[in-house]
Amino acid sequence: MWQLWRTRTCLLAALLFLAPALAQQQPATTSSNSTTTDNAGSTSTQTTTPTWRPPSELLSDSRLVYLYGQVMVDGVAPPSDSVAIESVCNGIARTEAHTDNKGRFSFRVGEGDTAQDASAAPAGTSHLSPLGTTGLSGGNAGTSPDRRLATNVGRRLEGCELRAKLAGYESETIKLTGRGPDASDIGVILLRRLGSAEPVLVSTTSLAAPKDAQKALRKGREDLAKGKQADARKSLEKAVRIYPKYAVAWLELGRLQLVQREAPAARASFEAAIGADAIFLPPYLALAVIEGAAQEWPRLQETTARAIALDPYGSPRMYFYNALAKYYQQDLEGAEKAAREAERLDKKRDIVGAWELLGSILAARRDFAGAAEQFRTYLALAPQASDATGIRARLDRMDELSASASGQADAK
């Protein structure tokens, strides 16, 4: 197995260095994913058949194919927020479009150079490159362009499904295999609630906290804002002493202990927060930081798996730690899936280590071309990284191995 010992020290050093900062991060404000109907209640009688179609001139254009449809929540209402429409082709997911304010979507399946000006497209239309284009040929030279395009469209849709993606919801999937230019109407993709409609970033145990405990927590936060760590710690310890189920106070105390380089005490506080409120998400990430820095891979995998189950579409960092844990336990397939999900969710590309990690995973799986692609992306995102020289050397090695494997395949 390809052992990437050079990255181990760098990854773990990064975990130790970033631990205090990560643990102190406040949960980001998330947009509401509520599914209530409008005040007039008009959505309760809405039909489940889309009433919108792309312009007829687009549908009749033989050079391209549009897929279009609508997303509905629990079968009665469009989602209140924009929903990503994803294709999944041979296990690889990509975002094709987003819904408009009525839950409608469309996107083009066709040649890349046939896209029309985006300003002329209907709402909810995507002009991303065509679905499932990777590795597909352009057809036989002797075939007419229209027939060749139709064949290519069929190939692109082979083994593909379509789904909606919204945090806290489960989507039905629409199979696209065998779908051609005459089957553009996807119909309705249904979303169903998975318990809470959004990740739990506020602990419900706070509602039952006695007034003295609430006062102590407020005092602790005020002292923290003033930089008075010793006074803040006394107040936070008082809050959890008065009310041991005070998950938020345990979280604040653990963050302070982590800043003060007291990892064992911080671990105990984060575990107490989770014990007090098992669906309160922030303590899981803080605990994952500690477990990753301590190289406790089985525990890290368990912690991140629990958090991902609570919020499958929320934290790319949680998927990154999950991939890290699986990688060091030699579950390369599971590590690759988790790392790809971390990259997909990391829209701002803040977790650049995910690209290095996935490159390491793919190298271990002897996908040298894939590993090279990940290392290139990593260097593009972090050209001044301390390990950039080593990554460039590994990139050169991946290119060599990829060329050698390709040459051997051609010789057979």
Give the tens place of pLDDT for each residue, 323-352: 999 999 999 999 999 999 999 988 888 899
Is pLDDT above 80 for 186? yes
- Domains within the chain, CATH numbers bracketed: 5-27+201-411 (1.25.40.10), 45-193 (no CATH)
Q: Which pTM was predicted?
A: 0.55
Q: What are 202-258's pLDDT values in tens digits?
A: 677 888 899 999 999 999 999 988 899 999 999 999 999 999 999 999 999 999 999
Best CA proximity match to 85, nearest among 94, 76, 72: 94
Half-sphere exposure at residue 278, Cβ-oriented, CA atoms within 13 angstroms: 4
Q: What is the pLDDT of residues 129-174, one digit of tens each?
A: 334 333 222 333 344 444 444 455 555 677 788 899 876 678 888 8
pLDDT at residue 355 greater than cutoff 90: yes
* C-alpha angle 286-218-199 in degrees, rounded to nearest 5: 40
How do residues 89-107 score in pLDDT, each as one tens digit? Answer: 776 777 888 888 678 888 8
Average pLDDT of the segment spanning 170-191: 78
